[in-house]
Amino acid sequence: MSEAERPGVAQLVRSAMGGSRDAWDQLVERFTPLMIATAHRYRLSDHDAADVAQTVWLHLIEHLGELREPAALPGWLASTTRHECSRLLGRRARQRPYDPLIPFEGDQVTPDIAGDVAEDLERFDRQEAMLAGFAELSDSDRRLLVLLVADPPLTYLEISERLQIPIGSIGPTRGRALKRLRATAPVSRLVESDK
């Protein structure tokens, strides 16, 4: 698919609102990783992270018709996911018996871990921005980048075989994919703030 006809997120949202299952499938595939990373940031278990993602998608289906600005979907998903995570955490906290003799329970930050927390926050923001930018890329860009960061690393020969593209084109294609990732709003904000 050429650059021009590659549907952007806003177009996918409009198609999904019109009932397109294909567009919906793509939205779910693109944005679920961001939800999972957010849930992990809230230190939710894998089970709870799955619940959060499912609940947010179900909410979106209910409210899809009310969405006024299709381009605002990524922001809506991010804030709804955070809201669901803290709601789940709140319920967890209530279900834990309270012991007044334990001074630092729950979310309270003791001085010795405050430094770690600041470092974590910076890293989480970075992860969120990368995943949000990544979600805006085309299927082919995302497939290539996923293979390039695979652990253990893949050789260019393996990547070329998996994607059915010549080895010689991997370098230039990687360059263009990274450029497009760099150009997405979330990633360009991140890079600018690094300067």
Is residue 10 within 8 A of residue 54, CB to CB? The reply is no
Which residue bears the tokens 């499912």?
54
Is residue 104 within 8 A of residue 110, CB to CB? The reply is yes
Task: Provide CB contacts within 8 A for 46, sequence distance 6+.
Answer: none
Q: Is 90 in the site for other proteins (CB under 8 A)?
A: yes
Which residue bears the tokens 């996923």?
146
* Minimum distance of other proteins from residue 109's CB (angstroms): 20
* Minimum distance of other proteins from residue 10's CB (angstroms): 18
Q: Which two tokens stand for residue 18?
A: 């019109």
Write out the DSSP string of 96-165. Answer: SPP-TT-SS-TTPPPHHHHHHHHHHHHHHHHHHHHHHHHHTS-HHHHHHHHHHT-SSPPPHHHHHHHHT-
Which of 3, 62, 107, 112 is close enough to bind other proteins by CB under 8 A?
A: 62
Which span sits near other proteins by CB under 8 A: 5-13, 74-82, 95-103, 108-116? 95-103
Distance between CA 49 and CA 42 in Å, rounded?
A: 9
Q: Is 65 in the site for other proteins (CB under 8 A)?
A: yes
* Cα separation of the two ends of the chain: 34
Q: Is 96 in the site for other proteins (CB under 8 A)?
A: yes
Count of residues interacting with other proteins (CB under 8 A): 58
Q: Is 182 in the site for other proteins (CB under 8 A)?
A: yes
Q: Is 195 in the site for other proteins (CB under 8 A)?
A: no
Q: Is 11 in the site for other proteins (CB under 8 A)?
A: no
String of contacts with other proteins for each residue 21-60, x by CB under 8 A: x--xx--xx--xxx-xx--xx----x--xxx-xxx-xxx-
Is residue 181 within 8 A of residue 137, CB to CB? The reply is yes
Residue type, 32: T
Give whichever of 71 and 178 is closer to other proteins, judged by the CB atom. Answer: 178
Which residues are near other proteins by CB under 8 A?
16, 21, 24-25, 28-29, 32-34, 36-37, 40-41, 46, 49-51, 53-55, 57-59, 61-62, 65, 90-91, 94-98, 123-124, 126-128, 130-131, 134, 145-146, 148-149, 151, 156, 170-172, 174-175, 178, 181-182, 187, 190-191
